[in-house]
Amino acid sequence: FYLSFQGLRQISQRTISTASRRQFENRVPEKQKLFQEDNGIPVHLKGGVMDSLLYRVTMGLTVFGTAYVVYELLVASMPKKQK
């Protein structure tokens, strides 16, 4: 039983590791070339349209959140009127 289990484990590990190696190609050098290029674009925006969109959404949420916190602090600092 132990030998068959160990053999099965070796086969499954070998299948998974070789399949994943063949599936992906190494694109690191082209990404390095893109991100190291001196073209005046900040590094967090060099990824393209999705980076720009993510940056704008993040900045919008940050500005909205900051304004909302300031508003809530102002509301909390005002005394409520007594009837």
**Number of domains the chain contains:** 1
Domain carrying residue 67? 43-78
Q: What percent of the chain has pLDDT over 90?
A: 60
User: pTM above 0.95?
Assistant: no
**Does the structure show a pLDDT above 80 at 67?**
yes
Task: Report yes or no on 54 lying in a domain.
Answer: yes
Task: Report yes or no on 4 lying in a domain.
Answer: no
Look at 43 and 11; give whichever has higher pLDDT: 43
Name the one residue in this structure whose structure tokens are 């070789």: 18
Task: Decide: 42 and 51 in contact? Cβ < 8 Å.
Answer: no
Dihedral (CA of 11, 12, 14, 18) sign: positive
Q: What residues contact 45, with CB distance under 8 A and at least 6 apart?
A: 51, 52, 55
Q: What is the mean pLDDT of the chain?
A: 85
Name the most confidently modeled range: 2-6, 23-27, 79-83.
Answer: 23-27
Task: Report yes or no on 14 lying in a domain.
Answer: no
